[in-house]
Chains A and B, each alone.
Chain A
Amino acid sequence: MELKEELKTKLIEALNLEDVTTADIDDNVPLFGEDGFGLDSIDALELIVLLEKNYGIKIKDPKEGKNIFKSVSVMADYVAANRTK
């Protein structure tokens, strides 16, 4: 499975986005904020756990997440460049 699709699937599962399918998540739409996908700060923490659990990426400063979780595309690029598993 392509990394972006894989991330979308894991994101939906980890965040309990019950009414959402991978097709609903545009690669470039902002994940956070009212103009985007509407995720909140707890979701950001859950995404940090997701990256560590699935890709061995440790984000020590939650503020880093702001840049990494801009969109699925940005997230996928970061994972591809930093994954350890």
Chain B
Amino acid sequence: MKTIHEINIDNSSAVIDGKRIDTSRSGSQMLTELYRIYVNDYPKFFKMDILCKLGFIASELLLQAEGAPRFTDRADRADRAILFFNHSSSIQADKAFEETIRDRSDFFPSPSVFVYTLPNIVTGEIAIRNHYYGETNFIILNERDDERIRQVTEAAFTDPTTTSAIAGWIEAPDNHHFTAALKLITK
């Protein structure tokens, strides 16, 4: 396997291939800042929970670093997998949804919050955006385990279809604390 590009984002910085991206905000506002500067053509971003915003921005910056044509000549590709791992699942969205059903006298379950109460929604969001029809996988671990991530990624390449993957750790326990360490990897 070969790492083509690598991105690391936490609540105060974003670093692509070892180079820090200029940002003036922190936390979720930093993700919005990055969206406005580097993407700005996908309004659905604003509806996403923090885990999806983080994964979406990280994947966008990785794919922009790759520099390959997007949304044009290779639509509906099945050769790229998305393999994500974390510890807190979709806990921020779970708590936000729980807030909408906590009070029996003010019981209004929010459909738009509910749709994000699964961690693998972020893999779906990225697959939809990029027309990826390959393997998507979201695994919950007790703690970050880079060797385990490497093993699962290696296993994904044993099928006859997968030739590259966006893979790594993506953790967002709340709106103010998050980490993404994703790689674009080829077989």
Contacts and interface: CB of A to CB of B under 8 A. Distances in A.
Our verdict on whether A and B bind, yes or no, reads yes
Interface of A: 14-19, 38, 42-43, 45-46, 49, 52-53
4 A-B pairs with the lowest CB-CB distances in the bound complex, closest first: A45-B111, A18-B46, A46-B112, A53-B108
Contacts, number: 29
A42 B112 contact: yes
Query: Chain B's interface: helix, strand, loop or mixed, by majority?
Result: helix
Contact of A16 (B111, B112, B115): B112
A65 B109 CA distance: 18
B43 interface: yes
Contacts of B110: 46, 49
Interface of B: 32, 43, 46-47, 108-112, 115
A45 B46 CA distance: 17
B164 to A, nearest CB: 30
Query: Chain A's interface: helix, strand, loop or mixed, by majority?
Result: helix
Contact of B47 (A15, A45, A49, A53): A15
A31 to B, nearest CB: 14
Contacts of B47: 15-16
